[in-house]
Amino acid sequence: MITLEKRAGPSKAWALVTPLVAVALTMIVGGILFAALGKNPFETIRTIFLDPLFSEFAWFYRPQLLIKGAPLVLIAIGLSFGFRAGVWNIGAEGQYIMGAICGAAVGLAFHPMESRLIFPLMVLAGAFGGWAWAMIPGVLRVKFGTNEILVSLMLVYVAEQLLASMALGAMRNPEGMGFPGSRNLAQYPSAANLELIKDSGMHWGVVAALIAVIFAYVTLSRHIFGFQVRLAGQSPRAANFAGVNPAGMILICLGISGALAGLAGLFEVAGPAGQISIDFNVGYGFTAIIVAFLGRLHPIGILLAGGLMALTYIGGEIAQSNLGLPGAAIQLLQGMLLFFLLAVDMLTNYRIKFGKGGTV
Amino acid sequence: MDLSSINPILLLASLMVAATPILLAAIGELIVERAGVLNLGVEGMMITGAVCGFVVAVSTGSPWLGFIGAAVGGAFLALLFGILTQYLLSNQVATGLALTLFGLGLSALIGQGYIGIKAPSFPDWHIPLLGDIPIIGPIVFQHDPMVYVGLILVAATWWFLHKTQGGLVLRAVGENHDAAHALGYKVTRIRILAIMFGGACAGLGGAYLSLVRVPQWTEGMTAGAGWIALAIVVFAGWKPWRLLLGAYLFGGMTVLQLNLQAAGLAIPVEYLSMSPYIATIVVLVIMSAGRAPRSLGRIFHASR
């Protein structure tokens, strides 16, 4: 007979080990899945997890790692505040889109003027767009008690429609021969989020992600707000007695995650993506949820998890083109990773006891 | 624009069809939540049901077998959620999200070879006598069988929850799992069954989309229907009959905006397409008056 016994506090050692166990389990079950799809499991796993870093074409893939990882880390850092405090913003994808739309709108409005002030202004607009979009579920939750999970998610679909309407209408490139999509911001020097070091993949979004990691680390471990966030998540009642304002907590957490998601969208639209188009968003907002949990909602953990997730994206693309692995298999692998993580997470909070437990 | 091209009878009839997938998914989730479990993976189970139903229906040629396959697929995915949340005591919100992400990937993988194929047809029933009544006949009594299955499920759920002992136990588990445990009810087992029922219903809802409503398989075809089902459960205050109202309200909104699109209203298509989601938010804001089951979303761990 196996029973679970609650630990007095979460085990630090298991908290560090469980993500690794989850990754290992994902590789094993993923390998079985790949074998079932008629691929060589070892070759596929190696292609996904190692080739982007160590193959002969790694010089091409390593910059991609930063480009894909930055938005994931930026969004996940924002989400981690809310997830710690029990505020579930799962509409980061929508906030990401709105950040891109608002930021691009500023850039496009100034075209073809050249000024050093345009890009900073776009950054502000991007953060504002994401923040404002996240404030909708925030204010509705605070004023009317509406469930923020559902509202933030519904707004993703609204934002996607808005994106389509922008790409086809208001923001369409007047010189684009009628094709959908805006002007290419990457070709407009004042608005472009170009690589800071040539061929490194390092753009302003990567810098912002690193700053966000440091900022979050300091806030969570050294600042009273970080303490309040942790308290609100672990014991809402105790947080109330400690003078934490629940409404303020909800608004701040949603605000931070919205603004960071908006920033991620802006850096993407002004750099790697280049333009507002119908298929601009590729699900970073949802994958960031996995990144946040895989990183144990800890800034350093999120940084590592973001890197790993970016790796699966790039490795997945390589496996797709070289081995003919279907793209959906990678999506499944990512979902599986979160599943296994949640499953083995039990070990941090509970102890497994074999045999009949003693009586109390 | 030509509003006279919209036929009110056809509009009301297609409203019932548009509401059915959401109604099916929502009735399952209602049972799950009344048992005290918050499964946010409805979208994932729905799309898995959609693809399982489609694959089974295409390969057997029978839509009925398709629906059975969809229910099995949805229930299987729900079982994963059940094992994680009930035995491995994981966070229900996070696990539900994981289930959705997993389901979207799984369905895309299963459905790869089935894009662009047409589903075997599922003929409408023309119920004798009742179907011949003018106006009401075409609106209510000339649909495919699954529309009525949805209605029967709502009635059966109400009856089960309020008129049977099993329903009483289920509600007790949802309101206070510690007390239910102390009374000797198997909290975990009851919840697992509820979760699997929820998954089967979500699967049926998904299959209704891929086999009747569309009827084709495309990736991500549920487009948030699972989330809307979750919203409707909140809107309904966890009561089966109000669920019907919520689903029809939403179905009406969807059908109306599609009709307006077809009629060439001067509003861009994108703004009409976002209207059902905005309507859901508005409805959530003004009408979420019900009280959630007390143990909803809380982890049950029987301490000795």
Q: Is A57 exposed, middle or buried (0-12, 13-18, 19+ CB in 10 A)?
A: exposed
Q: What is the DSSP letter of A37?
A: T
User: What's the pLDDT band for A140 if we cut at 50, 70, 90?
Assistant: very high
Which of A202-211, A236-245, A303-312 is the least confident region?
A: A236-245
Query: A263 vs chain B: nearest CA distance in angstroms?
Result: 24
The pLDDT, as a whole number, for residue B3 is 64
The tens digit of pLDDT for each residue in B172-225 reads 888 888 888 888 888 889 999 999 999 999 999 999 998 888 888 888 888 888
A86: number of Cβ within 10 Å:
17
Contact B32, B200 (CB under 8 A): no
Distance from the Cα of A222 to chain B's closest Cα (Å) equals 27
Q: Indicate the DSSP class of residue B61.
A: S
The answer to whether the CB atoms of B270 and A165 lie below 8 A apart is yes
- Of chain B, the percentage scoring pLDDT greater than 70 comes to 93
> Please, is A110 exposed, middle or buried when counting C-beta atoms within 10 Å of its C-beta (0-12, 13-18, 19+)?
middle
Interval A114-143 mean pLDDT: 90
Check A144 against B285: CB less than 8 A apart: yes
Tally of CB atoms within 10 A around A231: 20
- Choice between A332 and A355, residue whose per-residue pLDDT is larger: A332
pLDDT at A360 over 60: no
User: Looking at the predicted structure, is the pLDDT value of residue B296 above 90?
Assistant: no
**Which of A120-124, A301-305, B139-143, B157-161 is predicted with the least confidence, judged by mean pLDDT?**
B139-143
Interface contact flag, B270 A335, Cβ < 8 Å: no
* Cβ contact A286–B101 (<8 Å): yes
The closest CB to that of B284, out of A150, A158, A290, belongs to: A150
> Is B55 among the domain residues?
yes
CA angle B25–B29–B34, rounded 5-degree value: 155
> What pLDDT, on a 0 to 100 scale, did the predictor assign at position B288?
63
| Helical H segments across chain B, by residue range | 8-34, 42-60, 63-82, 92-110, 136-140, 145-163, 165-175, 177-182, 187-208, 225-235, 240-263, 269-287
Query: In this predicted structure, what is the pLDDT of residue A79?
Result: 93
Task: Identify whether B126 is part of a domain.
Answer: no
Please state whether B116 falls in left (phi above 0), alpha (psi between -120 and 50) or beta.
Answer: left
Express as a percent the part of chain A with pLDDT over 70.
Answer: 98
Does residue B286 register a pLDDT over 60? yes
Evaluate the CA torsion angle B127, B132, B137, B143 in order and state its sign: positive
- DSSP 8-state symbol, B4: G
Residue with tokens 């889109």: A97
Residue B250 neighbours by CB under 8 Å, 6+ apart: B18, B19, B22, B228, B232, B276, B279, B280, B283
Q: Which of A82-86, B124-128, B144-148 has the lowest mean pLDDT?
A: B124-128
Contact (CB<8Å) B231/A360: no
Q: What is the DSSP letter of A357?
A: P
Rounded mean pLDDT of B95-113?
88
Name the residue among A145, A150, A350 with its Cβ closest to that of B227: A150
Query: How far is the first Cα of chain B from the last one, in angstroms, to the nearest whole number?
Result: 69
Q: Which of A180-184, A203-207, B88-92, B124-128 has the lowest mean pLDDT?
A: B124-128
- According to the model, what pLDDT value does residue B289 have? 62
pLDDT of amino acid A221: 83
Q: Cα–Cα distance between A241 and A237 in angstroms, integer?
A: 6
pLDDT one-digit tens code per residue, A238-248: 888 888 888 88
Residue B48 has pLDDT above 90, yes or no: yes
Please give the Cα distance from B113 to B106 (Å, whole number): 13
Range of the structural domain that residue B253 is part of: 3-113+142-287
Q: What is the mean pLDDT of chain A?
A: 85
Please report the pLDDT score of residue B5 as a whole number.
67
Instruction: Report residue A118's pLDDT band, with 50, 70 and 90 as the boundaries.
Output: confident
Distance CA A181, CA A274 (A): 10
In whole angstroms, what is the distance from residue B298 CA to residue B304 CA?
18
Q: Closest chain B residue to A326 measured between Cα atoms?
A: B109
Total CB pairs under 8 A between chain A and B: 137
Residue A173 to residue A170: CA distance in whole angstroms: 9
* DSSP tag of A208: H
Mark yes or no for CB contact A331/B93 under 8 Å: no
B65 in a structural domain = yes
Query: For residue A80, how many C-alpha atoms fall within 13 Å in the half-sphere facing its CB?
Result: 31
Average pLDDT over residues A57-82: 88
**Interchain contact, B93 vs A164, CB within 8 Å:** no
- How many domains does one find in chain B? 1
Contact criterion met (CB below 8 Å) for A257 and A134: yes
Q: What is the DSSP letter of B87?
A: I
Q: Which residues of B47-71 are buried (b: 16+ CB within 10 A; e: fewer)?
A: bbbbbbbbbbbbeeeebeebbbbbb
Q: Which residue of B has its CA nearest to A338?
A: B98
For residue B253, give the CATH number of its domain: 1.10.3470
Average pLDDT for A54-70:
83
Cβ neighbours of A360 in B, within 8 Å:
304
Q: For an interface test with B, which of A34, A148, A156, A161 has the most B Cβ atoms less than 10 Å from its Cβ?
A: A161
pLDDT score of A16? 81
Name the CA radius of gyration of chain A, rounded: 22
Indicate the range of A166-170, A336-340, B100-104 predicted with least confidence: A166-170
Is the confidence at residue A188, as pLDDT, over 90? no
Q: Decide if pLDDT at A153 tops 60.
A: yes
Residue in B84, B102, B281 closest to A343 by CB: B84
Residues of B within 8 A of A6 (CB-CB) are 301, 303
Amino acid at A148: E
Q: Which of A6, A155, A332 sits opposite B109 (nearest CB)?
A: A332
Please indicate, yes or no, if residue B36 is contained in any of the structural domains: yes
Helices A327-349 and B92-110: angle between axes, nearest 10 degrees: 160
Q: Give the model's pLDDT for residue A344.
A: 85
Residue count of chain A: 360
- Residue B42's nearest CA partner among B292, B233, B250 is B233
Average pLDDT over residues B12-17: 81
B269: nearest CA partner in chain A: A165
Give the pLDDT band (50/70/90) at residue A357: low
Length of chain B: 304
Report the alpha-carbon distance of residue B16 to residue A360 in Å, rounded: 57
Please give the distance of CA A198 from its chain centroid, rounded to a whole number.
Answer: 25
The string of pLDDT tens digits covering residues A262-305 is 999 999 988 888 788 888 888 888 889 889 988 888 899 999 98
Q: How far is A256 from chain B (nearest CA, A)?
A: 20
Lowest-pLDDT range of A52-61, A146-155, B120-129: B120-129
Structural domain boundaries in chain A: 69-301
What's the confidence (pLDDT) of residue B253?
Answer: 83
How far is Cα B214 from Cα B217, in angstroms, rounded to an integer? 8
Q: Which of A293, A328, A350 sits opposite B105 (nearest CB)?
A: A328
ipTM, two decimals, is 0.83
| Most confident of the following: A1-15, A231-245, B19-33 | B19-33
DSSP state of A359: P
Task: Compute the distance between CA of residue A349 and CA of residue B4 in angstroms, rounded to an integer.
Answer: 63
The one-letter amino acid at A73: V
